[in-house]
Structure 1
Amino acid sequence: MTPIGIVLALTTALCWAIVPLIYRRNMGDLSFPEVNAIRSFGFVGAMVLLVLFQGTGMPPALRGPHFLLLLAATLLGNVFGDVLYLSSIAKIGVGRAVAITSTYPLVVTVLSALWLGERITLPIAVGTVSVVAGLNLLRKGNDADRGHLPEAKRGFLLALATALCWGLSIPVTRWLLLETDLSSTDLNFWRSLVFFPSVWALWLLRCRLGYHRPERILALRGRSWLALNGAGALALALGGTLLALALQQAPASVVTPITASSPLISTLLAISFLGETSTRRQWVGIALVVVGSAVISF
């Protein structure tokens, strides 16, 4: 196992864990598709700076099937997956949605074995199951039943679709890194250019359908604009580049369960800095995530 791949995966999880705390203070009554559109500026801007810092000039162009796969990975991981996630929450509540969608590391493990030819050892399998179980225990309380049975079924299917979208995007990203000459920064740069028009097109469509009012974004305070774009730079630019680096150093079946521990870090940060409390069940979840990540790492 490559130690640097483990460190990069943990650093990615830290980036992803800080962002929800920024959202909590700056989202107001905005929906996530609106936040996604705003933070796209931070994503693109930070990636331009990273490419300039890399000093290798304009990244090589992606053409044909490689571009289509990058488009698919971006839409699945950062656009459709997140929209499906929010829809599943609306149907069945946060607790159930998080429980079902947190199974995406299992999807990555299976696909990594079948498509990428990665060897799934017993520690990887046991550690992945431990992380998934721990994430389920970390969710906040139990949600009451929402709506009628058909709504619950739709919510369950939406949550499964979310896990599938997230689980598909990571093996595709690793395959692109292995099959092209792109660096992790180059790949994430092209992802940002795909992400930007995609989220704004989705926002415009939702405005046309009556889900959003354009003035809501314009009315957002300047400080909140900066904070949300900072979150985009942290989660999508830095976190995405670190994830790609980790996938260059270690198998996707190892990297994913470790990066999926970001809810654990978010919980610990909320306890330390926001004064939140945790139940005994959540502390058991924390222990399972820590043990699972440790088992995978060795």
Structure 2
Amino acid sequence: MQEFLGWMLALGATVIWAFTPVLYRRSGEHFSVLGINAVRCIGYLATAGLYLAMTEGARALLSPPSGEQLFAIIAGGVVWLVVGDAFFFAALNRLGVAVTSAVTSAYPLLAVPVSCLFLGESFHLSLLFAAALIGGGLYLVAPREDGTEALRNRTGMFFAFAAMVCWLAGLVSCKVSANVLPVAEIEWWRALGVTGVSWLVFLLRERRFGAGSAAPSGLRGAPASAVLWTVAAGALSLTVGNLLFTGSLTAISAVVATNIVSIRPFLSALFGALLLRERLTPRLLGGIGLVVSGVAAMSF
């Protein structure tokens, strides 16, 4: 029964992480990249604070860690969730949900060598085979249109890879912070710092370009439903999904949980096709399959 619960928690996290890019993609119709970052943080901050208050009491919300630890949490979070996710949203707007999810799911291709070099984790020759699978998958999913669309796609691929590089800062920051602080406290202080920086950057952008910009921006003119969906997406992807996955690790092994999560690109492609009418081709599905196989192989 406990193992079944672990499977369900990991699957729940997978579905949430696969579905939220659809919400973010639709948010791009009303908000700029910086606007999405700022609005979604409302949901992130609210749920992270609620979780900390429920687990450690309301006083924990006003009990920050040491200055050095707080700086590391906030700095890592800003690079990871402000800069990295801004690149992710920009890639979504250019490549769509299916391709962006497949490319960024190759994140372990960068995370594993970084973990080996900076976190002292072991390296296995099987990782080379996994890397070959992921590389083949990325070759297949990369769009191949000509003309101006080709430039848009190349820019989208650059943004997707830039997002993965920035996410590595989050990996190192989380690993270091988790050795000295509870997860609930890390999430709260990260949420507080990320929310503050996201809104500061967004408001500065609005003040300088908002009046004369034809691009989607912030809250002005956006329907209430778009704001609510973006807030919900932030709460789901940044808090609920993480908590479900962490909870699954108490009932099943990290290998099993990682393999369950590796199906996320397939689910994202399905959601993109059903809700956004994105086109699924045999080449795209084959590339996603290779990426998923490579990610699964890296978890053994």
TM above 0.5, yes or no, is yes
Q: Are the aligned partners of 1:174 and 1:244 in contact in 2 as well (CA < 8 Å)?
A: no
Moved more, 272-281 or 208-217: 208-217
- Corresponding position of 1:130: 133
What SS does structure 1 have at the residue aligned with 2:168? helix
Q: Which residue identity does 2:184 align to in structure 1?
A: T
Q: Which residue identity does 2:208 align to in structure 1?
A: L
What SS does structure 1 have at the residue aligned with 2:30? coil
Indicate how the Cα distance of structure 1 residues 228 and 294 shifts in structure 2: closer, same or farther if over 3 A, else same: same
Return the offset for 1:52: 2.9
Q: Which residue identity does 2:188 align to in structure 1?
A: F
- Corresponding position of 2:19: 18
Map residues 51-70 of structure 1 onto 2, 5 A cutoff. 51-57=52-58, 58=60, 61-70=64-73
- Corresponding position of 1:269: 271
Aligned residues: 288
Deviation string, structure 1 residues 71-116 (Cα, Å, up to 9, x no partner): 22211111112334566789xx539x95876654222111100111
Q: Are the aligned partners of 1:22 and 1:227 in contact in 2 as well (CA < 8 Å)?
A: yes
Deviation string, structure 1 residues 260-292 (Cα, Å, up to 9, x no partner): 763332102334566654111112123213322
Q: Which residue identity does 2:165 align to in structure 1?
A: L
- Corresponding position of 1:41: 42
Q: Are the aligned partners of 2:37 and 2:85 in contact in 1 as well (CA < 8 Å)?
A: no
What SS does structure 2 have at the residue aligned with 1:217? coil
Map residues 1-298 of structure 1 onto 2, 5 A cutoff. 11-57=12-58, 58=60, 61-85=64-88, 94=95, 98=100, 104-131=107-134, 133-135=136-138, 137-138=140-141, 141-146=143-148, 161-178=162-179, 180-182=180-182, 184-211=183-210, 216-242=218-244, 262-271=264-273, 276-298=278-300
Indicate how the Cα distance of structure 1 residues 31 and 270 shifts in structure 2: closer, same or farther if over 3 A, else same: same
Indicate how the Cα distance of structure 1 residues 176 and 29 shifts in structure 2: closer, same or farther if over 3 A, else same: same
Q: Are the aligned partners of 1:42 and 1:230 in contact in 2 as well (CA < 8 Å)?
A: yes
Q: Distance in 2 between matches of 1:269 and 1:5?
A: 24
Q: Distance in 2 between matches of 1:142 and 1:172?
A: 36
Q: Which residue identity does 1:202 align to in structure 2?
A: V
Gaps of 5+ in 2: none
Indicate how the Cα distance of structure 1 residues 229 and 108 shifts in structure 2: closer, same or farther if over 3 A, else same: same
Q: Distance in 1 between matches of 2:169 and 2:299?
A: 22
Q: Distance in 2 between matches of 1:155 and 1:273?
A: 21
Deviation string, structure 1 residues 156-196 (Cα, Å, up to 9, x no partner): 87665433211222122122112x131x2221111111111
Question: What's the C-alpha RMSD, in Å, of the aligned pairs?
Answer: 4.1
Return the offset for 1:247: 8.8
Gaps of 5+ in 1: none
Q: Which residue identity does 2:171 align to in structure 1?
A: I
Q: Which residue identity does 1:53 align to in structure 2?
A: M
Indicate how the Cα distance of structure 1 residues 70 and 247 shifts in structure 2: closer, same or farther if over 3 A, else same: farther
TM-score w.r.t. structure 2 length? 0.75
Q: Kindly, what percent of the aligned residue pairs are identical?
A: 28
Indicate how the Cα distance of structure 1 residues 246 and 74 shifts in structure 2: closer, same or farther if over 3 A, else same: farther
Q: Which residue identity does 1:217 align to in structure 2?
A: L
Q: Are the aligned partners of 1:39 and 1:231 in contact in 2 as well (CA < 8 Å)?
A: yes
Indicate how the Cα distance of structure 1 residues 61 and 297 shifts in structure 2: closer, same or farther if over 3 A, else same: same
Indicate how the Cα distance of structure 1 residues 64 and 260 shifts in structure 2: closer, same or farther if over 3 A, else same: farther
Moved more, 188-197 or 62-71: 62-71
Q: Distance in 1 between matches of 2:260 and 2:189?
A: 25
TM-score w.r.t. structure 1 length? 0.76
